[in-house]
Amino acid sequence: MEANKKNRITEILGIKYPIVQGAMSWVTNAELVAAVSNAGGLGMLGPHAGQKTSPTSFQEITDRLRKEIRKVKSLTDKPFAVPVVISNDLTDIDTIANLLIEEDVKVILVNGIENFDFEPLVKKFKDHNIKTIYRALNPSVENALYAERIGVDILVATGFDEGGTVPDKIIGTFSIVPMISDAVHIPVMAAGGIADIRAVRAAMALGAEGIFAGTVFIATEENPAAENVKQLIVDHTASDLLIFRTNPAYYRSIPTPYSHELLAMDERGDTRDQIASKMYGEQGLKAGMLDGDINKGYITVGNGISYIKNIRPVKELIEDLMYDFN
């Protein structure tokens, strides 16, 4: 096999292996991101990266983000990524964009949200020679063509198998990846349920040129998630997961007393707004995943947990998933 296999993703991002560790609220930090980038992938800070407490102001959010970016830079000289959308409130997006440009972040994730035109932002990033990865919350051929038209460098096709906020249409990774790959000329990465080399190979066979993964990076030594959460990921399979309605669509969680409460709300007919207001209002993700408090939180993961058998160092995981790219 040829050494250092390159493809469009590795060329665009300036990395060795076509694998990106996706943003994850509360469960990323500078150490994880640097470990991914040092291992040849692309690490990505998520919302609240490296934090243990909720911010009390927007100023605090930006101060913390700047500090965490600088920490990544002290741990690696390799490229890494940061999302420009770090809350549902898009009024401050220009401030975040300017911060990322000032801090010389090389790759930016654009979370494709409907009814917001990202074209001026993407153009601004391009003018600063920053690469953009566009991941629509609800992937479709229409928004893939839109992303291509506004000049993003890489698209992510996310299937319903993913952890965190899932797309509104119940289209699995196996179905969405070829659909989006066929529609555009720019390279596509596959996301949702990818946690072992078979899934990597399948994604590539379906037209993806890279892997965009979250859950599999939670069960790593460098991830800031609570140790009991990592073990729960190892101990469960996709068939154990609870799934319930919320905003914007659905959520799945490893069974915890708290996630059973959310499921019960769904089963008794509470509205999506009611369920969302409990889980987001009570900071269920932070409580469950970062603090490891299963009575106060949920543990959202993708369907790939069936294939996660141990908690490993990031480097070992990446070398395993990217075996074919050596």
Contacting residues toward ligand FMN, per CB under 6 A? 22-25, 27, 46-47, 83, 111, 158, 161-164, 191-194, 212-216, 289, 300-302, 304
Residue among 238 and 268 whose Cβ is closer to ligand FMN: 238
Burial group, residue 38, by CB count within 10 angstroms (0-12, 13-18, 19+): middle
Q: Which is nearer to ligand FMN, 12 or 211 (CB)?
A: 211
Minimal distance, residue 139 CB to ligand FMN, in Å: 11
SS3 4: coil
Backbone angles phi, psi at 207, to 5 degrees: 115, -5
> What is the helix, strand, coil percentage profile of the chain, to 5?
45, 15, 40
Q: Could you tell me the smallest distance in angstroms from the CB atom of residue 3 to ligand FMN? A: 28
Query: Closest approach of Cβ 109 to ligand FMN, in Å?
Result: 6
Please give the Cα distance from 322 to 239 (Å, whole number).
26
| Of residues 40 and 284, the one with the C-beta less far from ligand FMN | 284
Please give the Cα distance from 61 to 54 (Å, whole number): 9
In this structure, the dihedral spanned by the alpha carbons of residues 73, 9, 36 and 21, taken in order and rounded to 10 degrees, is 110
Specify the residue, 210 or 302, whose C-beta has the smaller distance to ligand FMN: 302
DSSP strand pairing (242-245 vs 210-213) = unpaired
Specify the residue, 44 or 265, whose C-beta has the smaller distance to ligand FMN.
44
Closest distance between ligand FMN and the C-beta of residue 54, in Å? 14
Closest to ligand FMN by CB, 183 vs 225, is: 225
For strands 131-136 and 43-44, give the pairing.
unpaired
The full DSSP string for 163-191 is SSSPPSS---HHHHHHHHHHH-SS-EEEE
As a whole number of angstroms, the distance between CA 88 and CA 274 comes to 18
| Complex with ligand FMN: residue 34 or 200, whichever CB lies closer | 200
